[in-house]
Amino acid sequence: MAETSSPVPLPVKSRLDHVFPTLTTAQIARIAAHGRARSIEQGEVLVEAGAQVVPFFVVKTGEVQILRRFGATESVIVVHGPGHFTGEANILSGRRALLRARASQPGEVIELDREHMLALVQTDPELGEILMRAFILRRVELIAQGAGDVVLAGSNHSSGTLRIKEFLTRNGHPYTYIDLERDADVQDLLDHFHFSVADVPVMICRGETVLRNPSNQQIANCLGFNASIDEARVRDVVIVGAGPSGLAAAVYGSSEGLDVLVLELNAPGGQAGSSSKIENYLGFPMGISGQELAGRAFVQAQKFGADILIPAKAVALDCRRADAGEFVLRLADQRTLRARTVVVASGARYRRLAIDNLSDYEGSCVHYWASAVETRLCAGQEVALTGAGNSAGQAVVFLAAKVKKLWMVVRGASLEASMSQYLVDRIRALPNVEVLLRHEICGLDGADGSLNKVTVRNRDSGEEQACDIGHVFSFIGADPNTDWLAGSGIELDDNGFVITGRNNDHLLATSRYGVFAVGDVRCGSVKRVAAAVGEGSTVVSALHAYLAKQRATLAEAAE
């Protein structure tokens, strides 16, 4: 018999009636029109943790418990009574259930499958708002509580541990973290699952499957990120990259009836997803983190039916059948996908410091973004940050509140040349930030993957100084991620960015008819989140025009 504890109180940051709203009789009646009523018996499991098919339930009478399972132990997350409904963000994406749903009292429920629930969200504005808000806020609370289906055991000195934490965090998947160097009960876990400290990082899925230092692909497979996606279907559009431009194209394309598939290597948001706080994005006067903005767009795209494949790396684009209305994309694992149009939104990859032993510290002490994961590692310490763009400025402001001192290393002679003035003013007002203009990082020293000293050089005098620093944040720009377009016939400029608009077909059209480019990967793009979102939305009209013309051409050829 599984042990069952008393309910675990969620640290609700939002109003409780938004997280667990009670539906009215009229609202329940509208939902009932999309599903079926059925009885439930006490003890009946309605949804099993890890299930791929996850129905949506509205409780008319009786009670349904939502439980977290770990091995033979259960803990109650919440109890849904009459007027309440089940589900959280995974029901939108079609991913596996995080939690078990079990009837604790007999009664009656209304049951909808995922397709009918999505149709309800899209067609009933009032219910759509209630359900979407609850799903999103429930996921936020599960993340805050660490109440998911994953336990990660590792060390903060392990690059593999930090990679897995980053992958789960940026993909919004809740997990419980056990630090093998600090947690007192760790030996019981080691003994129960038969692994040793040498195996870390170890990820335990649903208290059953043990993965030793898994790749991101293995994590995604275990958690069922992509299990519901039909990869054999010919899509109206495949979007390569889930940064702001790619997500915008997915939202607008799917909301206008296109069959959309998005490919993303790591997590939604692209480089913007690493921004700790974006304060100059229209409509958010208090600012919004890049991860939060990306998370909202990710859910919004799924609401309208877009599929998002993570992780997926495109390595080639075959345009030989374009005249027949089909492009073929090859992925790194040799899978192929077919589409009638392609949107290149693959963005850029981070530039690396030109230091010989850089790879010794990447993933553990050298970071390319500043999120809560990294700040927990360096809180109260001295850190260095190099770069002078807006992303660098946002990271400085975010980190300064957490660290003892921050050394900002800038190659140029001023911050104003490359950074918004509001960030420059804020940085100058921070007492624990020292800006080193005309300097560069030239050396990293430490042992066993732990950094303890950073050497910086004055670019004018050549003078060097060593600082006791344990973490470096690198924001020195990025290069276009266009290697995968080699052999496709798509024209690039001398720096590798995609050239668009030359054929007078559309501003965002590439040299290959039917292939478009948006965002940072495009030659001449404005490196701003708002501009990327604008391009992603604008390209959808070009997709419709191309598809309409292509359908007419193919129909004419068939006559």
Cα(409)–Cα(274) distance, integer angstroms: 19
Encode pLDDT of 344-363 as tens digits.
999 988 899 999 999 999 98
Residue pair 195/202 in contact by the 8 Å Cβ criterion: yes
For 275-281, what is the mean pLDDT? 82
Q: What pTM was estimated for this model as a whole? A: 0.87
DSSP string, 406-450: EEEEESSS-STTTS-HHHHHHHHT-TTEEEEETEEEEEEEEETTE
Say yes or no to pLDDT of 510 above 60: yes
Reported confidence tier of residue 13, pLDDT bands at 50, 70, 90? very low
Say yes or no to pLDDT of 420 above 80: yes
State which fold the 150-223 domain adopts. Glutaredoxin (3.40.30)
Lowest mean pLDDT among 8-17, 76-85, 194-203: 8-17
Encode pLDDT of 437-465 as tens digits.
999 999 999 988 899 999 999 999 999 99
Top CATH class of 3-144 equals: mainly beta
- Computed over every residue of the chain, the mean pLDDT equals 92
List the structure tokens of 482: 């266009």
Residue pair 307/297 in contact by the 8 Å Cβ criterion: no
Check if 3-144 and 235-349+479-558 are the same fold: no
The pLDDT score that the predictor gives to residue 98 is: 93
State which fold the 235-349+479-558 domain adopts. FAD/NAD(P)-binding domain (3.50.50)
Query: Domain locations in the chain?
Result: 3-144, 150-223, 235-349+479-558, 358-476
State which fold the 358-476 domain adopts. FAD/NAD(P)-binding domain (3.50.50)
Q: Which of 47-56, 204-213, 271-280 has the highest mean pLDDT?
A: 47-56
Q: List 382's β-bridge partners, or say none.
A: 405
List the structure tokens of 471: 């973490």
CA 255 to chain centre: 20
- Helix (H) or strand (E) run with residue 558 in it: helix 529-558
Reduced to 3 states, what is the DSSP secondary structure of residue 549?
helix
431 preceded by a cis bond (ω within 30 of 0): no
Encode pLDDT of 134-151 as tens digits.
999 999 999 998 888 999
Cα(448)–Cα(174) distance, integer angstroms: 30
